[in-house]
Amino acid sequence: MAVKVVAICGKGGVGKTTVSSLIAKALFQKKDRKVLIIDADPAGGLGMALGIKPKRFLSQIRKEVINSIKKRKSDKKDIALMVDYLIMEALTELGNFAFLSIGQPEERGCYCSVNNLLRDSLKFLAQNFDLTVIDGEAGIEQVNRMVMRTVQFLILVSDPSVKGIRVAETIQKLARKISAKNQAGLLLNKIRSEHELKQIRAQTKLNIIGWLPEDNTIRDFDAKGLSFFQLPICPAYKGVVNALKKLEIL
Amino acid sequence: MGLFDEPFREVEDFIKEKQDLKQIRELPLKSILNWSEEASLILEEESALELGHPGQGSLSFLVWSQALKKNQDRLLILGPDLNELKGKKAPFGQIIRVYGSFPDEYQCYCQLRDAIYQTKLKGLMMRLIPSQQVIWCRVHQTALAQGFSLSHLGSALIKKIKALSFVESVEVIFITSSKKDLNQLKPAGEEVKRIAGALVKMVEEKDFDCEACEYWEVCEKVLELKQIKKRLNKKGKRWRLR
């Protein structure tokens, strides 16, 4: 089965957003399919890295829907239609690309029905794209939550640190508990040498799908706040492309 | 008396005015709808046209009448059809008038709304929020090149709505001419919004105080709403009626 939904997870600071941006760039270059990119990190770093300013966050839609329920302006069906409409309106479109940012939860309280609606709408939305890429929140919490339930392949990003690798292993275990079908692979970032790579291979049983070297081009782009869509072909980008080829995504 | 009598008449007056000005025309109904029924998600890049895009002007509502009118379906358009539109974006109005008998108003309202929402045609992406009366459509380039028109959409809507047992005739009015024309129908739309809002609230709420309700003025004005309220009260809802 071709992978349709991919999530990028890992410990904070290992380079998840960089990897997600490079994946987005590689898929954008291809232009042969409809791609949905979801920035599920409340910090919203992926939008910044890609130079996209979201029109609206999913959290704002959630707030609007909750207000509508509070004011009793709508019944269930109307709310469902409203969610579909507002999500479509919130997409930032770039050719074959659509970008959606989750944003930060603003409304406190239990709104399970709204969350369920949002989850179903996102699932339906993702079904209409050839590929959905989700840049996850740091750590393991989100693996449990709404956007991650439809994920078929987890790209676990880690730097060479033991902590990074352990978090990746924990995420994989948790993902397996949620769905046995979930597949995962480790993508190593900021690798300095073949020797370092060898050492990591010896430390973990995770399936290593690729690696990215430390790359000054990435560092420069990050420092200048330039869009990764403009990034020239560089070693880190090649590393991501190779991994995507391995996964038959490219 | 019917629930939507007043806005129904307002739409009638609007049609007459535009007919007198020879601005409105009838589109042919397609007895055999030669178009696949499937939901589409269309990106801006793939779309040939955007109708009712947020900011362009959009209006969508439904009214009904119990006047006798059997099998007199009609499809009207004010403004250019899809292949005649200049530019990629246009305002859009989709007003539906239904003739029939409506024994349980809320159920009928929901079923009619579902029939509209369930009208899905290949190459057309339709998003709507009934309570806000907005509709937004995208037409795929391929669909337009293959001759997709508002005749297809109108005919499909009529077919879906006519499948409901309580419906006798359906009239669909599309507006693509201008935001000004849409605005002319906004007061009728607002009245529909208030009536439908009161109806939804009445049925959805378990305990209801008319004195504190934002819709009490509508209920005072629309006799049908008062009758529905009395009927619901008998069914065991707890009301503090005015």
pTM, full prediction? 0.88
pLDDT tens-digit profile of B29-51? 987 678 899 988 999 999 999 99
Percent of chain A at pLDDT > 90 equals: 58
Residue A87: closest C-alpha in chain B: B127
* Structure confidence at residue A110 as a pLDDT band (50, 70, 90): low
CA triple B87-B93-B97, angle to 5 deg: 150
Give the residue-averaged pLDDT of B132-149: 96
Residue B135: closest C-alpha in chain A: A85
pLDDT at B201: 83
pLDDT greater than 80 at residue A135:
yes
Of B174, B176, B185, B149, the closest CA to residue B56 belongs to B176
Cβ separation B136–A85 shorter than 8 A: yes
Of B42, B91, B90, B127, the closest CA to residue A93 belongs to B42
Complex ipTM value: 0.87
Record the tokens describing residue A141, joined without a space.
């919490």
What single-letter amino acid sits at A243? A
Closest CB from B40, B117, B200 relative to A75: B200
Give the residue-averaged pLDDT of B212-217: 78
What single-letter amino acid sits at A159? D
Backbone dihedral region for residue A32 (phi beyond 0: left; psi -120 to 50: alpha; all else: beta): alpha
Percent of chain B at pLDDT > 70 equals: 95
CA distance to partner chain A, nearest, from residue B142 (Å):
16
Q: Which of the pair, B133 or A149, is modelled with greater confidence?
A: B133
* Structure confidence at residue B156 as a pLDDT band (50, 70, 90): very high
Kindly report which listed range (A20-29, A116-125, A129-138, B83-92) carries the lowest average pLDDT score: A116-125
Q: Is A178 helix (H, G, I), strand (E, B) or coil?
A: helix
Closest CB from B40, B127, B205 relative to A84: B127
pLDDT tens-digit profile of A170-212? 988 888 877 766 789 999 999 999 999 999 999 999 999 999 9
Percent of chain B at pLDDT > 90 equals: 71
- Average pLDDT of chain B to the nearest whole number: 91
pLDDT at A119: 78
* Selected residue of B40, B41, B60 to mutate for chain A interface (largest A Cβ count, 10 A): B41
pLDDT greater than 60 at residue B93:
yes
**C-alpha torsion sign, points A213, A217, A218, A220:** positive
Please list the residue range(s) of chain B that carry CATH number 3.30.1650.10: 5-185
Check if CATH label 3.30.1650.10 holds for domain B5-185.
yes
Record the tokens describing residue A61, joined without a space.
């839609």
Kindly report which listed range (A47-51, B60-64, B66-70) carries the lowest average pLDDT score: B66-70
pLDDT at A66: 84
Residue ranges of alpha helices (H) inside chain B are 5-20, 105-117, 141-145, 150-162, 179-204, 216-221, 223-234
